[in-house]
Structure 1
Amino acid sequence: MAKIGQQTVYYVGLMSGTSLDGIDAAVVSMAGDDVELVAFVTCTLEDKLKEPILRLNQPGFDEIDAMAMLDRALGFAFADAALQAIEKAGLEPKQIVAIGSHGQTLRHRPQGIDNSLPFTLQIGDAATIAEKTGITVVSDFRKRDIAACGQGAPLVPFVHQRLFAQANKNIAVLNIGGIANITYLGANGLVLGFDTGPGNMLMDALMQTMTDARFCYDKGGELAASGDIYQPLLEDLLQHVFFKKIPPRSTGREDFGEDVVQQIMAVDMPDADKMATACAFTVQSIVASLQHLPEQPDAWYICGGGAFNKHLMQQLREELAPAQVQTTTDIGLPVEAVEAVAFAVLAERTLAGEVNTLSAVTGALHDVSGGQVILGKNAKVVVNT
């Protein structure tokens, strides 16, 4: 809670996830422990950026030049998104203390390759964002945790605790983006978090494959709702090696990318059944995550793009009963804005020199303050904040 006379400061959070459905930008005001969303925009990720992102998610030849150019191009796109959100908030760039930018993940290898050095790679040039906006930028939030022998993900449980924890309830916050991740907030103050598996990623990729890219996603889950689950395929999918891992764990396209899409496409059945099975795969992988929680949640708060999939939400309500299942919109924070808000909060903690990544979630040797800082024209303001 803000103290009387405590100064209100403004931050921007930027998020572009594995679904590639846009760049989310949130302007957030902070005063003490109070965090409020001031403005939010989603900027379309143009095809000229999507295509190289998807291409560079797979190993190939002559990647360095392509990656370096994409890094700069995404820097400009992220800067534009930040400026649009600031304008929508009725503010000027000079009023913003800093931008927290997650970047676009190209690789996430918390176990390394063949048990070699673990690494993670997000691009979206922070220096370009700082140059175009004039605002200090905090980026590369995952790497410090990786260096401390953690998974580098998920990062948002730290913020979920600040936004959603309740003293008398066990709460689960479920973000369904391309990948789904869960935060467990115990009534006793315990915080856990981990990736559950695929979120929207497979459903989106299937829709694009089945329609020759005429449609990017199954709107409202309508196609899935019209199909039947093919149980043998669902059981095969649930045998994926990722589900044998005990948290802390994290995942991405490396586990649930094109290979799994082709596994589903190879089965001779109607498109609606493929989509219904993919949706059930997401649901059942979330349900399976319950075995890793110390107690059953009393309430679930759903955020991310998956919250707009009515069929997915209905299945979750049925599977997670009798727990109450709501969206974060229902309790005051739009589902599409939660992750962008989180990176604004993480940036504020970085600049304060305080912990913003929890070892209880990532498995690191200790809690860390993640994020690298590129000072903007407002450097004196940042240093004195």
Structure 2
Amino acid sequence: MISGTSHDGIDVALVGFDPVSGGGTLSGVVEFTATTPYAAGLRARLAAALPPAATTLAEVCELDTLIGRSFAEAAATAIDRAGPVDLIVSHGQTVFHWVDGTRVHGTLQIGQPAWIAERTGTPVLADVRVRDIAAGGQGAPLVCLLDALLLGGHLGGAVALNLGGIANMTVVRGPGEVTAYDIGPANALIDAVVASLGLTARGFDEDGRLAASGTVDQSLLAVLLDHPYYRLPAPKSTGKELFHLGHVEEAMARAGTRPGAADLVATLTELTVRTVARDVTATGIGLLVVSGGGCRNPVLMAGLRRALRDVTLRLSDDYGAPADDKEAIAFALIGWHTVHGLPGTIPAGTGARAPRILGSLTPGAGPFALPAPAPEAPHALTLRAVSRDTPPGTPRIARHPAG
């Protein structure tokens, strides 16, 4: 379970994992997926508390409880629809990622897991990022574990790109040859502008219509591209602590321009295209596997295809990981590793000193018996989605291009 940087709702994926005997391969079946929207009032409170806004410990405490209860209801609904589970992995909602240059000092995800355990009676693994940070890593992108296992056997290598609020990339050159990092904003800046100006009812550029109607402001784009974050070496991570509305306002002031709404959205969309295409091109790899809500934005995807003419673009759906649910699947995979005594990090991807077993466990209704530690970590993963359609009656929201 995860709510991403768009903070629009809770993504749930129920995945059954089984080792394939004798081959070092883990088989996964995506049995159920759903998205439950945050209540409008809760989402507004969350948005008002996020950086660069000031907030209080009282508000953080209340949001921790309210989001925890929302996750609990989403989990209970999924279990009612799809059957009992052995473990719930809750990423929660990121509210702050403490970054200083290329060093991460801390991260905070809220959504108290005790509410989930109490509501469902199922043990909950949460707080999955901070152990990697304590070991000197970025705590992100943790999805690189899934990418490495899923794409490691692809001849010639592959690049996995997730277009959420932030764009992150995993470069897989072969089994054990992985680098990963946050490129920069995917939809965070677009969303910030659309929401602040009230340009759409849903607060995002649905189907890229605003960007399609606008013209890129080249002087503003040049200033945005000149931000020092893009020149930092990997591994690196970022978030809305940096890429928020104030970032756009500062760039417009430096550029001496204030484009109209559609032109501004077009410019920010092109910023994502340019930064992603530059980094993908630098890898020299000819396959790009895309996931996240941004892959539903036709203007963004057309821009990437135009900028990456020699690269094959495919959706992660083609590899058994539905593009809208890939991050939830990745955290299910991390949970499987944790309960089997296996690290859920790849140091080459996060920059940590060594692999670490991730997360803190909240017991369910009774004792929790861990399975015997796995003799070795899987070297490959196959995924199969039983159904990519949510069963009728399950809460859904229209997919947000910020994922």
| Fold shared by both chains (TM-score > 0.5) | yes
Deviation at 1:63, TM superposition (A): 1.3
**Structure 1: distance between partners of 2:281 and 2:292:** 23
- Out of 195, 198, 202, the residue aligned to residue 182 of structure 2 is 195
In 1, are the aligned partners of 2:281 and 2:308 still within 8 Å (CA)? no
Q: TM-score, normalised by structure 2?
A: 0.85
Structure 1 unmatched ranges of 5 or more: 1-13
Deviation at 1:143, TM superposition (A): 0.7
1:205 matched to 2:192: yes
Say which SS state the counterpart of residue 267 (structure 2) adopts. Answer: helix
- Out of 99, 106, 113, the residue aligned to residue 119 of structure 1 is 106
Say which SS state the counterpart of residue 181 (structure 2) adopts. Answer: strand
Aligned to 1:269: 259
Instruction: Map Cα deviations across residues 296-334 of structure 1 (whole Å, 9 max, x no partner).
Output: 222111100001001101111111221100111244321
Deviation at 1:258, TM superposition (A): 2.2
The 5-angstrom pairing of residues 14-163 of structure 1 reads 14-32=1-19, 33-58=26-51, 63-89=56-82, 91-92=83-84, 96-111=85-100, 118-163=105-150
Instruction: Map Cα deviations across residues 15-47 of structure 1 (whole Å, 9 max, x no partner).
Output: 111111211001111111001110000011122
The 5-angstrom pairing of residues 248-327 of structure 1 reads 248-263=235-250, 267-290=257-280, 293=283, 296-327=284-315
**Structure 2: distance between partners of 1:312 and 1:62:** 34
Instruction: Map Cα deviations across residues 337-364 of structure 1 (whole Å, 9 max, x no partner).
Output: 1000111111111111211111111111
**Structure 2: distance between partners of 1:63 and 1:297:** 46
Deviation at 1:287, TM superposition (A): 1.9
> Using CA pairs below 8 Å that are at least 6 residues apart, which structure has the higher relative contact order?
2
1:182 matched to 2:169: yes
Query: Letter of the aligned partner of 2:183 in structure 1?
Result: T
Query: Letter of the aligned partner of 1:145 in structure 2?
Result: D
Say which SS state the counterpart of residue 86 (structure 2) adopts. Answer: strand
**Structure 2: distance between partners of 1:188 and 1:336:** 25
**Structure 1: distance between partners of 2:127 and 2:32:** 24
Deviation at 1:384, TM superposition (A): 6.5
Say which SS state the counterpart of residue 235 (structure 1) adopts. Answer: helix
Q: Sequence identity, in percent?
A: 35
Q: Over aligned residues, Cα RMSD in angstroms? A: 2.1
Deviation at 1:112, TM superposition (A): 8.5
Q: TM-score, normalised by structure 1?
A: 0.89
Aligned to 1:344: 332
**Structure 2: distance between partners of 1:280 and 1:378:** 52
Say which SS state the counterpart of residue 331 (structure 2) adopts. Answer: helix
Say which SS state the counterpart of residue 242 (structure 2) adopts. Answer: helix
Say which SS state the counterpart of residue 83 (structure 1) adopts. Answer: helix
Aligned to 1:7: none
Query: Letter of the aligned partner of 2:40 in structure 1?
Result: D
**Structure 1: distance between partners of 2:160 and 2:331:** 16
**Structure 2: distance between partners of 1:61 and 1:230:** 31
Change (3 A) 1:137 1:286: same
Deviation at 1:67, TM superposition (A): 0.6
Query: Letter of the aligned partner of 2:145 in structure 1?
Result: F
Aligned pairs, number: 364
**Structure 2: distance between partners of 1:325 and 1:378:** 47
Change (3 A) 1:371 1:380: closer
The 5-angstrom pairing of residues 351-370 of structure 1 reads 351-370=339-358
Deviation at 1:212, TM superposition (A): 5.8
Query: Letter of the aligned partner of 1:268 in structure 2?
Result: R
**Structure 1: distance between partners of 2:240 and 2:272:** 14
Change (3 A) 1:264 1:43: farther
**Structure 2: distance between partners of 1:291 and 1:363:** 22
